[in-house]
Structure 1
Amino acid sequence: MVYLTRVEHFNAAHRLYNESWSDAQNLEVFGKCSNANWHGHNYELHVTIKGEPHPETGFVFNAKTLGDLIKDIIVERVDHRNLNMDVDFMKGKFTSAENFAIGIWNELQPHVAEKGAQLHCIKLYETPRIYVEYFG
């Protein structure tokens, strides 16, 4: 089994808050991330697929095709957007890095499978020191 990872970058804003809680409780749980005026991140997205190299190309998957899929399906929809308000697949969800990674997986997986590949992992860096991994 060979694993291929493509890395993309984008910027997005969000707010972590629970509408049923008071501002004080949101601040206590989410800290500055509950700021009513939002906050942003420079995200780094790692998309890993897995498989066996094709005998005619040596590729598990064409890296250019994978990059195009990520840009078309994810980056164009989230870059310089508000995750709470502008991103359809995040509407009504807490915009934590965990939920965002799951949302990215759910959006990409059918397109990757359609091209004959198997999605292995979404790794999403929210900051250089905080990231989540989702394996479906």
Structure 2
Amino acid sequence: MTENRVAVFRKENFNAAHRLHNPDWSDEKNARIFGKCNNPHYHGHNYDLIVQVTGAVDPETGYVFDMKILSDLIKEQVLDRFDHKNLNLDTREFRNLNPSAENIAIVIYKLLRDKIDTTLDLKIRLYETERNFVEYPVH
């Protein structure tokens, strides 16, 4: 008998400022590579976050994962930590890590992964703009 695997999704959003900058590079190289995203006074995004959890449907609850618990986890682990923050200055996660959309998605994944049963697959989709988004992990 095959198991009934279903993906469930929770969408949230948060606002954060950041600056893309590599301290090992010259100001000129940073400006050339990162453009406006290297503004020394930072810039912000309205991020849309989609957290996907995939697994078997529990025959007793009918759930893959309790969405209230997922909502609470995202609030505690992500929103409370990053919303209305300057990622470079206000968070320990990005003090020494360039806060690109790719790195933000990986950090969010790591913050949530150990809070969700490993029998369930976890995927993060992060929209930095309406047209630019990243996913992690990629299988």
Normalising to structure 1: TM-score of the pair? 0.93
Matched residue pairs, number?
Answer: 134
Query: Is the aligned partner of 1:17 residue 2:18?
Result: no
Query: CA 1:99 to 1:22, structure 2 compared with 1: closer, same or farther past 3 Å?
Result: same
2:17 is matched by which residue type in structure 1? A
8 Å Cα contact 2:109-2:122 kept in structure 1: no
Higher mean alpha-carbon deviation, 116-125 vs 80-89, is at 116-125
Q: Which residue of 2 aligns with 1:118?
A: 120
Q: Which residue of 2 aligns with 1:97?
A: 101
Q: How does 1:1-136 map to 2 (within 5 A)?
A: 1-113=5-117, 118-135=120-137
8 Å Cα contact 2:15-2:85 kept in structure 1: yes
Partner SS for 1:31: helix
Shift of 1:120: 2.3
Normalising to structure 2: TM-score of the pair? 0.91
8 Å Cα contact 1:27-1:34 kept in structure 2: yes
Q: Deviations over 1:10-47 (max 9, x none)?
A: 00000001112222211110000000000000000000
Shift of 1:95: 0.7
1:31 is matched by which residue type in structure 2? G
Where does structure 2 lack aligned partners over 5 or more consecutive residues?
none
Partner SS for 1:28: helix
Percent identical among aligned pairs is 48
State the alpha-carbon separation in 1 of the partners of residues 94 and 27 from structure 2: 22
State the alpha-carbon separation in 2 of the partners of residues 45 and 128 from structure 1: 12
State the alpha-carbon separation in 1 of the partners of residues 24 and 93 from structure 2: 22
State the alpha-carbon separation in 1 of the partners of residues 37 and 76 from structure 2: 28
8 Å Cα contact 1:61-1:117 kept in structure 2: no
State the alpha-carbon separation in 1 of the partners of residues 110 and 95 from structure 2: 14
